Amino acid sequence: MFIKTDCNAVEKMIKQLYCTAGAGMEELLAEEVQQKLCATQVEQIPGRVFFCINADLQNVTQLKSAERLFLLLHKAEPISLPNNPAKAAAVIKQRVVGDPDIWRQTFLTWTSLQQELQCCQERGQKRKREDEEDSLHAPSFRVSCRCSGVIARSYTSQRLSRIIGMAIKEDLGWKVDLREPVLEVNVYLSDDHCIVGIPLLKNPLASRSYMKHNGLRSTIAWAMSSLCPKKLNDCVILDPMCGVGAVLLEAAQEYSNAVFLGMDTDVSQLEKAAENIKASGMEGRVQLLQSSAMEIPLADGAVDAVLCDVPFGRKFSCSSDMPTALPRLLKEMERVLRVGGHLVLLLSLQLSAQLKKTICAQEHNQNVNSLETKNVHTDLSNTHYESTDTTDTPKLLTVHRSSSETSNTPLLIRSLQAQKKHRVSLGSTDAFIHTYTKIQT
């Protein structure tokens, strides 16, 4: 028997979901589900955010900071497994699989949600109706287990996946299908958590269909505009090192009344950016220009916000050594920013440290020449600038000329107030998103 679901009825159902998130993105994701979905029971743990909604599931698919979306089946206390495989299998049956009725009910909910997703929009692959009917009572499944901590010392993820799969098969009578299962059962076992969920979408939420050429990870690109101190509607927004345009396109979707300008010295990057812009349908709102960020061809105060993913490492070359170029780059971005505008920079840890060396915090009325006096930290690695991450009073910045420049006089950017500093993971390395507001001096 196939249960035909009324989409409106599913919409009213409370759904217990969770999303995975990159390191440093959990807090932003928790805020996003609260703001955009009015989610309740929001709880974040490293790498995951749990929440309940009775909103349309289609809205959940629009989340920008999440990696993947799951229907929660089971969230329990962490388990410890004996080394003896038979005893371990018994613990898994009891603690990871638990009550078969919960699995059956969750599968029904998952089926309804799949229909809701298809009702609203033909997303993902629609399975054949007969397959659905066949699999209603005994869906085929595959287990993907990830483990860390103590358990990972005795068991590999693969071995655990097999043990859990056997337990589900025995207790529920579901069929294992490693190639094309109806259900993918995701299990996460760590020293702190035992979580079981079922993905609701085939593709990650983080993959954007219009990005024909990938640049900065979309979730991080989105975080840059999201961390901007103020909403950026009716604005002119500049990315002076735009690459393939990931930052511009994430911001363009978030701020529908803003217009965007992307610059890059590399024509091939600009060509890819143009293709991405076309695929996203944003041609009318995003302009591109070949130009150097070191000499931005715009008048003083011409833009309302500057968002910039500053290159580092070997992948992107820069005409000058970036740590050396950073003060000039910063000065140029500050120049084209209007008073009240915002600057958001994504900097590698190394460039952040460089910024820390070349920039020191100052009080509003502090005299430049009294840097070494009693009011100022003489050890720059300990300056107050570092502690502006959260609630501290914003500080003013002083950029010193790089050693290659002739004068020893500090090059003041008195107008930039540090707001926040947020650490995120780029996969193989971490980076900081720094935010500033330009004030009248």
Which residues make up the interface to ligand SAM (CB under 6 A)?
215-216, 240-244, 246-247, 263-266, 269, 292-294, 309, 311, 316, 318-319
Angle at 267 between CA 424 and CA 219, to 5 degrees: 20
In degrees and rounded to multiples of 5, residue 153 shows phi and psi of -75, -25
Return the amino acid letter for 437.
T
What does the alpha-carbon distance between residue 92 and residue 99 come to, in Å, rounded to a whole number?
A: 12
Q: Considering the complex, what minimum distance in angstroms separates the CB of residue 313 from ligand SAM?
A: 8
Token digits for 331?
Answer: 């000065």
Q: Considering the complex, what minimum distance in angstroms separates the CB of residue 424 from ligand SAM?
A: 13
Nearer to ligand SAM, 79 or 318 (CB): 318
Residues 6 or more apart whose Cβ sits within 8 Å of residue 229: 342, 419, 420, 435, 437
Nearer to ligand SAM, 200 or 293 (CB): 293
Nearer to ligand SAM, 295 or 300 (CB): 295
Q: DSSP code of 181?
A: -
Q: Considering the complex, what minimum distance in angstroms separates the CB of residue 235 from ligand SAM?
A: 19
What does the alpha-carbon distance between residue 47 and residue 52 come to, in Å, rounded to a whole number?
A: 17
Q: Considering the complex, what minimum distance in angstroms separates the CB of residue 193 from ligand SAM?
A: 33
**Contact, 51 vs 18, CB < 8 A?**
yes
Nearer to ligand SAM, 148 or 291 (CB): 291
What does the alpha-carbon distance between residue 438 and residue 341 come to, in Å, rounded to a whole number?
A: 6
Stated as kind and residue range, the H or E segment containing 341 is strand 337-348
At 46 the three-state DSSP class reads coil
Q: DSSP code of 125?
A: P
Q: Considering the complex, what minimum distance in angstroms separates the CB of residue 265 from ligand SAM?
A: 4
User: If you search the block for the tokens 């950016």, which residue do you land on?
Assistant: 273
Residues 6 or more apart whose Cβ sits within 8 Å of residue 35: none
The length of the chain in residues reads 441
Nearer to ligand SAM, 116 or 309 (CB): 309
Nearer to ligand SAM, 107 or 255 (CB): 255
Q: Considering the complex, what minimum distance in angstroms separates the CB of residue 307 from ligand SAM?
A: 9
Q: Considering the complex, what minimum distance in angstroms separates the CB of residue 24 from ligand SAM?
A: 17
Q: Considering the complex, what minimum distance in angstroms separates the CB of residue 202 from ligand SAM?
A: 25
Nearer to ligand SAM, 33 or 399 (CB): 399
Count CB neighbours of 84 within 10 A: 9
What does the alpha-carbon distance between residue 122 and residue 296 come to, in Å, rounded to a whole number?
A: 44
**Contact, 174 vs 141, CB < 8 A?**
yes
Nearer to ligand SAM, 270 or 399 (CB): 270
Bridge-partner residues for 435, per DSSP?
344, 420
Bridge-partner residues for 11, per DSSP?
none
Q: Considering the complex, what minimum distance in angstroms separates the CB of residue 270 from ligand SAM?
A: 8
Nearer to ligand SAM, 74 or 208 (CB): 208
